Structure formats: C-alpha cells, structure tokens
C-alpha cells in the first residue's frame, strides 16, 4: 500500500495569487496524478506528473495555469496560478503502486475570494 499526505489541507487565498500544493508518498511509486473536484462534482483529471520530465495535461488544463513538478518517485507539487474564484475546488493527488490500485491523498480544499 501507499500513504499519501498533502499540504496544505485547506487554504483561503485572494484572487490573483498562487498556491503550491505538495503531495508526499511514503514509498516510491510509478505514476502520480493530480485531480480536481469541484463542489458537488466528480473528480476530473488535471495531469499526469511525470518523474524527471514535463507533466502530461488533460484537455482544458494548461501548464501556465497548473505547473506541476515531480523531482523524484515520492514527491510532486501542483501550483494553481493567478487564482480566480472559479478555481475554488478540492485538489487531490494520487499515486499508483504496482499494477492495479491507486491511492489518493486526503485532498486540499482551496477557496479563492
């Protein structure tokens, strides 16, 4: 199994600012992903965080808005840049270890005023 922690757990930010969310896994994993869950909605994939190379973004998400780093096999960051109220969501990271099971962090609840 894998235990995932995220920092911060929640934050309230002003529009126009940026927030970096950290995701730490307690063991080495192959794949890491970032999702967004808007209020009352399901999870939407933002990007796949690739170790040592640029992240792979899903349609509708761009690197300038959501830069992602993954410097090693246990850590990744997601930055939400130039925030607006529409970015208010829960941001979750997940990691795949082995073949089938993905483990999720508890999420970061972001409110943008």
Partner 1 sequence: DAKTTQPNSMESNEEEPVHLPCNHSTISGTDYIHWYRQLPSQGPEYVIHGLTSNVNNRMASLAIAEDRKSSTLILHRATLRDAAVYYCILRGISGYALNFGKGTSLLVTP
Interacting residues with partner 1 (CB under 8 A): 4, 30-31, 33, 35, 42-45, 48, 92, 94, 96, 98-107
| 6, 104 Cβ separation under 8 angstroms | no
Nearer to partner 1, 78 or 105 (CB): 105
Closest distance to partner 1 from the beta carbon of 80 (Å):
18
Q: Is the dihedral of CA 102, 105, 107, 108 positive or negative?
A: negative
94 bridge partner residues? 33, 104
Closest distance to partner 1 from the beta carbon of 79 (Å):
19
According to DSSP, the β-strands at 89-96 and 10-13 are unpaired
Nearer to partner 1, 44 or 111 (CB): 44
Residue with tokens 């409110």: 111
Nearer to partner 1, 80 or 107 (CB): 107
Closest distance to partner 1 from the beta carbon of 70 (Å):
14
Closest distance to partner 1 from the beta carbon of 16 (Å):
28
The secondary structure element, H or E, covering residue 108 is strand 108-112
């Amino acid at each position: 199994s894998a235990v995932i922690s995220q920092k911060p757990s929640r934050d309230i930010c002003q529009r126009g600012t940026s927030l970096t969310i950290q995701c730490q896994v307690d063991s080495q994993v192959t794949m890491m992903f970032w999702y967004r869950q808007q209020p009352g909605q399901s999870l939407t994939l933002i990007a796949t965080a690739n170790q040592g190379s640029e992240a792979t973004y899903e349609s509708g998400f761009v690197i300038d808005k959501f830069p992602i780093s993954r410097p090693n096999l246990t850590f990744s960051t997601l930055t939400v840049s130039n925030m607006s109220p529409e970015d208010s969501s829960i941001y979750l990271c997940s990691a795949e270890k082995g073949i089938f099971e993905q483990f999720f962090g508890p999420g970061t609840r972001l409110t943008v005023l």
